[in-house]
Amino acid sequence: MEQNIQEVLLTEEQIRQRIAELGEVLTEEYKDKNPVIVGVLKGVVVFYADMIRQVKVPCQMDFMCISSYVGTSSTGKMVVKQDISADIQGRHVLILEDIFDTGNSLDFTYKHLMERNPASLKICTLLDKPARRNPNITLKPDYVGFSIPDAFVVGYGLDYNEYYRNLPYIGILKPEAYN
């Protein structure tokens, strides 16, 4: 695994510190709001587990799984593979995502959840890659962990063909690892 990493972009310590900061902001935002925190599987799993423990308010956990992404290039087509189980009508909902890249996935997820009339719907993404944004998408993440350059990253939940999710840091994959 490690030999295919060209560069460590974000260390475990950098990620831990940033999550602690975001946790303070989200704790303040969601106190008295009893939020439903929706994780988008599977990339978010590691971030979700660390983030939710820093949001120190009563909250419920839920997950959904959408699919579209094959290898390193987005196909643009999206389907809900697994929906959330909570009734979110009138609830404050926070979406947690691993990465906001073209924005297509989160745009789809956002619209899907908005149809159920939540009291509020916000997005917290660990990573943002603004360089690759689909120009037709106006949606913006409300909370961003790190803005990163246009490189394919793995680790801390992010995969390449389902591997590397268990790396504890975020690294840039060597191009020869996917060529």
User: What residues are labeled active site?
Assistant: 101
Name the one range near Mg ion by CB under 5 A: 35-43, 77-85, 130-138, 144-152.
Answer: 35-43
Q: How far is the CB of 36 from ligand 5GP (least distance, A)?
A: 20
Q: Which of 9, 30, 38, 43 binds ligand 5GP (CB under 6 A)?
A: 43
What token pair was written down for 54?
Answer: 């820093």
Mask for 110-149, x = binds ligand 5GP (CB under 6 A):
----------------------------------------
Residue in the structure block whose two tokens are 């996917």: 178
Q: Is 104 in the site for ligand 5GP (CB under 6 A)?
A: yes
Angle at 151 between CA 149 and CA 154, to 5 degrees: 115
d(CA 142, CA 152): 23
Owner of token pair 């643009």: 76
159 touches ligand 5GP (CB under 6 A): yes
Maximum separation of any 2 CA atoms in the chain, in Å: 50
